[in-house]
Every structure is written in C-alpha cells, then in structure tokens.
Structure 1
Amino acid sequence: MSSDKQTISRAPTEPPRAATPGSGCAEESSVNLAANASKVITGHASSASRMQSTNLVTIGSMVCRICQTNSGQELLISPCHCKGSMAYVHLSCLERWLNQASRCYCELCMYQFNAVQTKRYGLCQGLKMWMRHPRNRAHIQSDLLIALLLTAITVGLVIVCLLGLQYFVIEAQRIGVTKLWTEIILSVFICVVLLGYVVTIYLLVRDQVVPWYTWWRQTVDVRLLLTPSVAKGMRRQLSKETAL
C-alpha cells in the first residue's frame, strides 16, 4: 500500500495548457474597442445636449428691449441695425414707443423705419387737446391778459392824441412850432404806438400758435411696414420655436 501511494504521489501532474498565441491581444483589443465606442457615444450625447441647451439659452435670452419680456404670444423682430440684446423688439411695443415719441426712426442707430403716418387729431380736436393742458391753459390766460392791457393802453393813447390834437397845436404854437409839424409829430407817434402794439400781439400769438402747430404736426399714429428681411426673420424664428 505504501508503495502504491508513493507511486500515485510521484505520478507527474498534467502540465497547464499553453495559451493560444494572439488570444490575449484579441480580448484586450475588443475591450478597448468597446470602451472607445462607449466614449464616442457618450461624447456625442453630451455634445448634442450641450448644443440643445445652448440653443434654448440663446432663444430664451432674446427679450424685447422695450418691455424686457419674451412671452411667446408675439414674435420678436429685429427691424433696425442694432445688435446684441438691443436688436430684438415686439412689433406692438415698437409702434407704441414710436407713437409716444412721435418719430419714425430708431433713437439708437438712427435707422429710418418704413412706416405710414396719420394725424392723430384733427385741427379743432388738436386745439382743444392743447388748451386742456394746465400749463398751456395758464400760458394762454397770461398772454390774453397782456394783450387786453396792451390793447387798452394803445387805444387810450390814440384817443388822447386825436382828441387833444387842437390842444397840442395851440401849445406848440406858443413855443414856435407850426401846426403842420405838430400834426406830423402826433401822426408819427400814433404810428409808432400802433406798430409796437401790432408787433407785440404778433409775438404773443406766435408764441402760442407755433408750439401748438409743431405738437399737432408731430403727433401722429405710426404703423410700421415690415421689410422682406424682417418678415423672413420672423418666419425663421417661428420655425425654430415650432421645432423646439
């Protein structure tokens, strides 16, 4: 029995199988390919997500430069040469701003808009609107008071000169001035008084009429006419929002 055990124990063990040439390299290359493929897929997914988030941020950051909102109920347009955050505006906001400012150009880049202007008030209605303003009404009242006082003074001077003509002639003859020269002097004095009265009344009327006429002429309703490029930009923006 002991000899048998020794024989079994001395029996040579089976040598390990030799690795097939190239099998380890194949397994390692397949692992590397799988890792690279996963990295490429992950990179594409991350870049796509970054591009999508960038587009969303860009569209979301475009706000109207007047109302500072982008509600989505009205498209933003870029009707002038302004760039950056000042380029976009709602059409209704821009028309309201131009109507309040009574102009048809951009106050930043001085671009002249293609617009249709119509008078906001008629002639009589504009005059009533002008006189309803407290400051204008106060100026009109003060000018009327000045005109009434000046008229009274002028009429009084003319009446005194005409009624006192004989008295002035007699007094002038006492100091050696003839009747003709006295009448000439009085006539020149009356003309100077009347001329001063007319000029003063003209200046008072001009100070009232010119500001009113300027305001009435510039107070217009502005309706913008979109150029083909602006309309194309609106359609492009609408297609982007629809795609998102």
Structure 2
Amino acid sequence: MSDYQHRARKRFGQNFLHDAGVIDRILRAIRAKEGERMLEIGPGQGALTEGLLGSGAQLDVIELDRDLIPILQGQFGDNPRFKLNQGDALKFDFSQLQAEPHSLRVVGNLPYNISTPLIFHLLDNAELIRDMHFMLQKEVVERLAATPGGGDWGRLSIMVQYHCRVEHLFNVGPGAFNPPPKVESAIVRLVPHEVLPHPAKDHRLLERVVREAFNQRRKTLRNTLKALLPASAIEAAEVDGSLRPEQLDLAAFVRLADQLAMQPGNAD
C-alpha cells in the first residue's frame, strides 16, 4: 500500500469506499470467479479491486484521475490479470476489451454526476455484458428499480428496464466513504436480458416517446404526445390517452413507439 494519501477530488465526484464490512458485502453480491472477465469503472484507491483480483478474475479497470494511476499500478501492476486503462469511461470503447458476448461483468462506485449517462453508454454495449453491479445514489437506484404508478417511475426506469432486469440489493450509509457524501447510497444489480421481454421496432423511437411523455409528466398522454402521435394512434396502441405517463408500463410505451414507427416519415 502506498504511503501517499490521495485526497478525494470534488471535480471527479470522488468518495472513496473504506468500510471493510460494506466492501465484503459488495464482493459477496458480485461473486466474481476465476477466469471471468471483469471491468471496474473508477477503482479509486482499489477498495474493491483487491477482492476482485483475489477471485482469480481477469480485471480491466478504467480510471480518469491521473494522480491515482501510480497508486493503482503500485498496488496491482505486478498482477498479470490486471490491466489499467487511464481515461474517461463515458468515452471508452468497450469493444476494445474483446470480450465474448454476454461475458463482461461490470462493477463501479460511480460518481453521481455521470451515473445516468454512463449506464446508457454501457447499455449501448449490452450484448457484451453479463451483469453490472453499481454503487449509486440511493434515489437513482430507486428510480432504476421503480414500478409504474409512482413518482420514481420515469425515463430512467423505463429505458433501463427495457434492456435489463434491475435488483436493488442493499443501502449504504455515508459513513462507509471518505469523505462522507451528503446522500445515502445503494448497490444495484443490472442484468441485460438475453431476449428482450418487450422488443420495440426501433428503440430510438421508444426513447423519443418516453422523453416526450415525461417532459411534462403532470399532463395527460394525449397532450404530452400530440406532437408525435395523433389521438387515433394512441388508441390503436391500446393506450388510454387520458392517463398520465407514470401510469403506463413498459409494454404500453413500446406499443406507442411501434405506432410512431408506422407514422409517415418514420416507417421503413
């Protein structure tokens, strides 16, 4: 372990995990095994890295903060199963890992400011990924795992659940980190569906419908979607246009997107 103590940086949203009990609980939830392909995003000072390598897995890590590179290399660089990639995970090309389909296991204590765009970036590569375990702000995990009808149900819930099964595993208090964040955290498991339960004709149109619907979530679908879909198309999707968007499940949004795909200008 290096004598050099790295100070957490606000601009990278760094809060380093130090609670041994929480680290152990996360590692037990992941259950990494020998020979598996693991990717850790934002390893920080290596709190989880050590345990992941100890499993015998092949581990790539992506770290943005240049000051952490020598610390991580000093701790783990001698291990032939460890590979350090310095850079921004939001711009990382996951295909360069040359992982087999559905083999990559992704882990990360994600900075709150990049968690949502990073999850969407990973979902663009969902065919490579077996599962993902993330430490996130608790309210983000609640939105990921939400069900229709509540205030947490929205664009993030729908688009992530389109691609993945979501499990809110357990919560983590601020005291597990240094410095302690001002919010509660939680661990979530995302498992990409090998076969989508509700495949859309065009998932970009699904994103468009969901974004428009929740832009004004207090309005009815008839009002919020009127620029995209006439009332007759909403009816043809077997959706009640007088409902608000949070009252619809994923399957209903896919039916609306498929109606949009048949509108002039969108049809193939």
TM-score tier after normalising by the smaller chain length: under 0.3
The TM-score with structure 1 as length reference comes to 0.22
The TM-score with structure 2 as length reference comes to 0.21
| Structure with greater helix percent | 1
| Structure with greater strand percent | 2
